[in-house]
Amino acid sequence: MTGDVIFAGTRYTAPEIAQAASQAAAGLVALGATGARVALLMRNDAVFLTASEAVRQAGAVALPINWHFTAGEIAYLLTDSAASIIIAHADLWAAVRDGFPEDLRAKLHVIVVPTPAEIVAAYRLDPADSNPGREDLAWAAFLDAHPPLVEPVASETYPLIYTSGTTGKPKGVLRLGAARPAAVAYDAFFEPGMRTMLATPLYHSASNRFCTGTFRAGGTLVLPARFDAEQTLVLIEAYGVTTSFMVPAMLQRLIRLPTDMREHFDLSSLRHVVVAGAPCPPALKAEMIDWWGPIIYEYYGSTETSALTFASSADALAKPGTVGRAVETARIAVLDEQGAPCPPGVAGEIFGRRIDIPDFTYLNVPCARQQAGRGELVSVGDVGYLDEDGYLFLSDRKGDLIISNGTNIYPAQVEAALLAHIHVADCAVFGIPDDAAGEAVAAIVQPVEGHSIDRAELADFLRGKIAPFMIPRLIELRQDFPRDSAGKIRKRDLKAQYWKGIGRQI
């Protein structure tokens, strides 16, 4: 069973999507896609879902690409993955095609999808770049050239998701088995009749799972052209949205809407709003629960591990800051530098594994998989601790830890305090060189659009909320950040300018 898709107010029925997906699958098979990888370079659009289904039916593996990447970064992913087919929105293809090496362009089959007018307007794009060029293979023509596939191969493989590349180049997480996860964590929410709204990018592993999971369960998928806080409330009421996946920054924007606007909409249809992608400040989660009710959930996991823990609203209120306990099919261990288990309340590196999720390797770098593991368990470098009841609390990423005057400072704690300021839209905290202390705390802050922030006032705001030694010595204001494939801020890029020439590996 499959469901409908509502993109920017237009409904695409399940039969329409099935027809287009089957025709596209036939075309992909003709291009030799079976057993190969097909890249998807698109913003959130109904065609993203159609193309994903086509890739599955063709027996291929989908490679969703972060459309924020440069031509060089995308060329690296295509080369590393050996993808020879790419389906791309017209404006995104126009922006990168001339930056590809000639040998790569020569072997690529490119299928160009018109960029919807709603996306053009939402991102203020040049309408001239929204349609395929004369020499491009247009999506509509590609479909028309192929009758529906008579016998779909229907691969159940996982998509090939590339990690954010906090150290070195991004690495492709290649699953070594079929996709049949147990109905635990957010997978338990996929059911017929659900109505899922997604404004997070579909190239992200969790968003992608919510997208395909909802569709294949027979639910309705609601895709806005771009996230907007007020429009989110409009869509929830208009379509009776039951389920959504969001990142904490979205909750920040929602909670800052005027009270009269927040109270104007009927949000009673909501059943499950899952939050992940970055640590969610406990105070923010509590505010959202007070507004939306006990329907806020959080999990901890990664592309490599999937969701290892799950936390309900009751967990969040009883144990502020927790990301929950291990799901039924997961094993979690917090280990010290010697590999010994840390006692309750003592932070260490987090390792985990889901027994219902096939193991993986990093494409073309199997040694990196070995380095990330201890036995069957794997770590992505996060630090945290388990309490006496088995609830997991995150501290930060191992590589982000700041050591100042011998004291450990976790940037996530400082970031949570900064985000409590009404005019802070986003921020990144990291260590910078300091001759006396070794490292000092720096914060790059993005003000809410239309507002200015005084650095001294912001430092005063932090006093009493965090320890004095955590207050950033340097505060810079920026309007935008470099972001990775999950939408997270690429601290590595921000830190590089401060550590250049110092000799530290960033």
Q: Let me know if residue 173 belongs to a domain.
A: no
**Quick one: 315 and 433 in the same domain?**
no
Provide the token pair at 35: 């057993």
Q: Is 483 helix (H, G, I), strand (E, B) or coil?
A: strand
**Quick one: 36 and 54 in the same domain?**
yes
**Quick one: 115 and 237 in the same domain?**
no
CATH number at residue 198: 3.40.50.12780
CATH number at residue 67: 3.40.50.980
Domain boundary among 149, 170, 203: 149
Q: Let me know if residue 300 belongs to a domain.
A: yes
**Quick one: 193 and 310 in the same domain?**
yes
Q: What is the pLDDT along the chain (506 residues), one digit of tens a residue?
A: 468 999 988 999 999 999 999 999 999 999 999 999 999 999 999 999 999 999 999 999 999 998 988 888 899 999 999 999 999 999 999 999 999 999 999 999 999 999 999 999 999 999 999 999 888 999 999 999 999 998 888 777 889 998 864 446 788 999 988 878 788 899 999 999 999 999 999 998 899 999 999 999 999 999 999 999 999 999 999 999 999 999 888 898 899 899 999 999 999 999 999 998 777 888 899 999 999 999 999 999 988 999 999 999 999 999 999 999 999 999 999 999 899 999 999 999 999 999 999 999 999 988 888 888 888 899 988 889 999 999 999 887 766 778 786 677 878 888 988 998 999 999 999 988 877 677 889 999 999 888 889 999 999 999 888 878 889 999 999 988 887 655 678 887 888 778 654 433 33
Q: How many domains does the chain have?
A: 3
Q: Let me know if residue 506 belongs to a domain.
A: no
CATH number at residue 479: 3.30.300.30
The sheet that has 5-7: what strands, in order across it?
10-12, 5-7, 220-223, 195-198, 243-246, 272-275, 296-298
What are the E-state strand segments in 301-455? 301-302, 306-307, 309-310, 322-326, 330-335, 348-354, 360-362, 373-374, 377-378, 382-386, 392-397, 402-404, 407-409, 424-434, 438-447
**Quick one: 354 and 267 in the same domain?**
yes
pLDDT at site 491: 83
Task: Please name the amino acid found at residue 38.
Answer: V
**Quick one: 125 and 191 in the same domain?**
no
CB 416, CB 462: distance < 8 Å = no
**Quick one: 351 and 408 in the same domain?**
no
Q: Let me know if residue 165 belongs to a domain.
A: no
For residue 473, the enclosing domain spans 401-499
**Quick one: 276 and 315 in the same domain?**
yes
Radius of gyration of the chain (CA): 23
CB 79, CB 238: distance < 8 Å = no
pLDDT at site 375: 83
Q: Let me know if residue 454 belongs to a domain.
A: yes
pLDDT at site 69: 82
pLDDT at site 264: 94
Q: Is 492 helix (H, G, I), strand (E, B) or coil?
A: helix
pLDDT at site 235: 97
Q: Let me know if residue 15 belongs to a domain.
A: yes
228 Cβ partners below 8 Å, 6+ apart?
none
**Quick one: 220 and 143 in the same domain?**
no
Q: Measured between alpha carbons, how far is 208 from 228 in angstroms, rounded to an integer? A: 20
pLDDT at site 485: 54
Q: Let me know if residue 495 belongs to a domain.
A: yes
Q: Let me know if residue 504 belongs to a domain.
A: no
pLDDT at site 502: 42
**Quick one: 468 and 481 in the same domain?**
yes
Domain boundary among 366, 398, 430: 398
**Quick one: 250 and 329 in the same domain?**
yes
Domain boundary among 380, 398, 416: 398
- Is residue 111 within a helix (H) or strand (E), and if so which, with residue range? strand 109-113
**Quick one: 310 and 425 in the same domain?**
no
State the virtual CA torsion across 41, 47, 48, 53 in degrees, nearest 10: -120
